[in-house]
Every structure is written in C-alpha cells, then in structure tokens.
Amino acid sequence: MDIPTEAPAPAKAESPADSIGPYRLLEKLGEGGMGQVWLAEQSAPVKRHVALKLIRSGIYDNAVARRFASEQQSLAIMEHPAIAKVFDAGSTPAGQPYFVMEYVPGLPITRYCDQKKLKIRERLELFVRVCEGVQHAHQKAIIHRDLKPSNIPVTELDGKAQPRIIDFGIAKATPQPGADQTLSTRGGAPMGTPGYMSPEQADPALGDVDTRTDVYSLGVVLYELLAGVHPFDSRRGQKQPFDQVLRQIREEDPPNPSTKLSQEKEASTATAEMRGTEPRQLVTILGGDLDWITMKALEKDRTRRYGTPSELAADITRYLRNEPVQARPATPGYRLRSMCGAIA
C-alpha cells in the first residue's frame, strides 16, 4: 500500500476514532488489503505530523497481524537516511495494532526528477542513494519486494533532495544474513506491483525470491528515470491485463533505454527537455554504458543480474567517474574510450 506523496484529499474518511493516544487522525492517506495509513498530528512529547498505519477494522486475523508486526519490525531495525523511520507502536482500545512512522510529503522519485528537470547525472546521483538504502535493508535481512517510484518519494532537506524508501508491507525477512550474502524467501502467488515485479516474482510456479528481485525493480525505476517511460509500455497511458504483464516480465526482453526513447518520437522532445537536453543528444547519452547498466539490472536470469544494489550503485558511480563499467565487456578499445569520454 502506498502512502500518497502529495497533499491529502480534503474529504475526511471514516476512522476508528478521532484520536489514538497522542495522535489525532487528520486524513486517510491510503488503504490496502491489510491496513490503512493516516496522516496524524502528534501532540506529545513533540508536535509534528506523522503517518500512522493500522490494520483495517474487521479484517485482521493472526496471519495479518503477524505480517503487520513483521513490517513494523522491518522498519524498526533499519537506520538509514534513505529509509523512513518508525517512531512508535501500540494498539487501539479496540485492539487494532498500529505503528507510527515518519511522514514523507514528497513526490515519487520519477515525478520529482521531472518536475525539477534534473539532468541525467543528477538523476543518477539520486538513484545511487536509493540503492544504498536498499542495500542497508538487505544487510538487515529485509527484502522490500515492492520497489517502485511511489514507494521512493523524494523530499528536500536544506534545499537538497532526499529519497525515502517507504512501504515495507510485503517485505520479507531472512534469518542470519551476511552483508554480502544473497538472501532467499519462499512465496506463493505473485506479490508486488505489476510492471515492477522481477521475473521470479511473476512466476507463481517458482516462488523463490531473493535480494536480486529488488535489483530488478531498481532497474525498472532506473529505466524510467533515464528514458521517461516504463520498459514494457507499448502505448503511453494504456494499461494491460495483469496476466499479460506477468507474461511480458517472464518472457519478453524490453528494448534498451536509448532504443525505447528513439521509438517514443512523439514524447522524446518533452522527455529530453525534462532532462535538460535535446532528443538526439539524450539518445547518445543513454546509448552505451547506461544501456548496458540498465539492462544488466533487468536480466531475466538473475545469475546475470547485479548481485546486490551496491554492485548496481558501484557501476553507476564508475560511469559518473568516466571509468569502465562492469556491465560491458572491457575490451582495450572500450577502456580507452571510457578514459577519454565525458558525460552530460
């Protein structure tokens, strides 16, 4: 369930009570299968706006309660500037569990970058910080499993963009992880958001999900940040049936970002303008290393994908430094061109 990243709607939804402890409920921000998220005003010991998440009345059982508690614990054990913080937890008088977390009134990362007309370098620098946050979660044995732009809102602190990863509602924890280990969980039906699921998430018969599923989702977000369109969008604004989306994820290879941008001729001018450049120049910038990096993150065979978010971030950092990237075969000629090249 997403916490909307724009101002909440003015109409107040029904609530279990006007207040829960020191938290006065203001507006219902979102609702999913498990719970509701409310914008609330905390009165003590400090006064501030927070996001309060509680299990929806009448639907919770032991399994839902365990999943809710798992999300709370997942957030509580993480301490990273790119991950929303948990402040408090408890139960309502009616017995509904809740927890209180940082309210992030930002925009989804893709929309923020477009609104600010960030250049490719600036987008990549912001994306690297997201990768670092996801890596931190993995080091705490937490796999997010639902990374997408709306779950990566960007706010500003002292005039600087700050991404915050939210919504660990379908996250999975694994026991005794090592910082560099690949973590695994077993699942059943597909869980996640169509279009951002990894091929292994989209295959109910497989059900084996590890940290590389988050790498794939990060790859989709990176693709959108670069090309301004989803990898599998055939027509802007046209939604496809759920089973068709899953089939595409499992079986089809999307075009690389530069090719996709070339195909989106009608929208390429606006896309380039939001990145501070011209369509032809943007295609040139995306071609080569950025195509290779993005498509490696989107490999259907996860053994060929980046093993961790930090590996993805490291390759982007190499690109930003004009160093050879690992996503591309490092021939002598390529290494020489990388040393002499420059990026916009």
Catalytic residue list: 146
Which residue type is seen at 99?
F
Residue 219 in tokens: 């790859």
- In angstroms, rounded to a whole number, what is the distance separating the alpha carbons of residues 264 and 111? 18
CB-CB contact of 268 with 282 (8 Å): yes
- DSSP strands (E only) in the chain: 19-20, 23-31, 35-42, 48-55, 86-91, 97-102, 107-108, 142-143, 153-157, 160-163, 172-173, 184-186, 208-210
Cα 262–chain centre separation: 26
- Cα–Cα distance list, 34 to 57, 61, 196, 258 (Å): 10, 10, 20, 39
- In angstroms, rounded to a whole number, what is the distance separating the alpha carbons of residues 149 and 144? 13
Residue 79 in tokens: 């301490």
The continuous run of DSSP H or E covering 333 comes out as helix 332-340
- In angstroms, rounded to a whole number, what is the distance separating the alpha carbons of residues 11 and 20? 20
- Cα–Cα distance list, 42 to 19, 37, 102, 209 (Å): 10, 15, 11, 38
Could you tell me if residue 26 is left (phi over 0), alpha (psi between -120 and 50 degrees) or otherwise beta?
alpha
3-state SS class at 93: coil
